Amino acid sequence: MTAPLILDGKKLAAQVRLEVAEKTARLKDQRGITPGLAAVLVGDDPASHVYVKNKRQACADAGMASWLHQLPAGTTQEELLDLVDKLNADDSVHGILVQLPLPKHLDTALILDRIDPRKDVDGLHPDNLGLLADGRPRYLPCTPHGVWQLVKRNGISWAGKNVVILGRSSIVGKSLALLLLQKGVDATVTVCHSRTPNPGHYLKQADIIVAAIGQPLWLKADMVKPGAVVVDVGIHRKPAGGLCGDVSYDEVAPLSSAITPVPGGVGPMTIAMLLVNTVESASLAGK
């Protein structure tokens, strides 16, 4: 087989950020609105600090405003809810991002549900997931949106394809399935999870595989049919250093027609789609 097409998320995300910058400039010129994203970070998780830093830098590059609310690990539930309420009421804030994971003493679902659905630029509030399920999405969840765009903008159609998603989290698997079932996307979707017997049976029939199972190097070459498109959402640190995904890249890539690298695949697209949603929220402000 010929070498696979590398689905370069870093390159595409840069293009999306330019598009966001153009929309931001138009909003400023035409309506005097500067899109703004407020990030809330609780505790000292090193990875979370890196993620928030990258998101704020992406905002700055696109001409958007951003604010960081950094809270100690011992922040109480009521203190965090009060902050969310204040951000909900602040007209200069168009998007609210509560960085996960939160410390274990905090109720993550309760905190995320408190965010105004119009400012839920992660697209994971129950109201927004419900609209997505009903075929009338307000915002598309960032990682699923990034996966969809990364494949689509590389000239690969989802329509009529057998897609197998590994993982059923709301953040990726479940919401991606809802997105791919939308009219106009038109994929045929199977979701495999920890209780699926013999997932290889489904994987071997897949035209497109999206791995979001949270297990390093889980997807092997014997699970993939030749010519499949493979999208790896996972990211893990190897014991000996370096990063890997849920896919055994060196094994699977020679069989694939297209594949995402890790890092540099889905990750940059997730941040880019966060900016897309924030600008969309700003454009809806006052309407």
By annotation, the residues acting in catalysis are 55, 99, 122
**Taking Cα atoms as reference points, which of 36, 176, 174, 42 lies closest to residue 111?**
42
The residues, any chain, with a CB within 8 Å of residue 185's CB and separated by 6 or more, are 148, 158, 159, 179
Contact 190, 180 (CB under 8 A): no
CA distance 268 to 8: 9
3-state class (DSSP) for residue 189: strand
Strand-strand pairing, 236-237 and 243-244: antiparallel
The residues, any chain, with a CB within 8 Å of residue 192's CB and separated by 6 or more, are 164, 165, 166, 167, 199, 202, 203
CA 246 to chain CA centroid, nearest Å? 16
Query: Which residue is associated with the tokens 């307000």?
Result: 138
Q: Token digits for 277?
A: 């949603």
Q: Token digits for 39?
A: 């990030």
Residue type at 255 in one-letter notation: L
What are the strands, taking DSSP E only, across the chain? 5-6, 36-42, 65-71, 95-98, 162-166, 188-192, 208-211, 229-232, 236-237, 243-244, 258-259
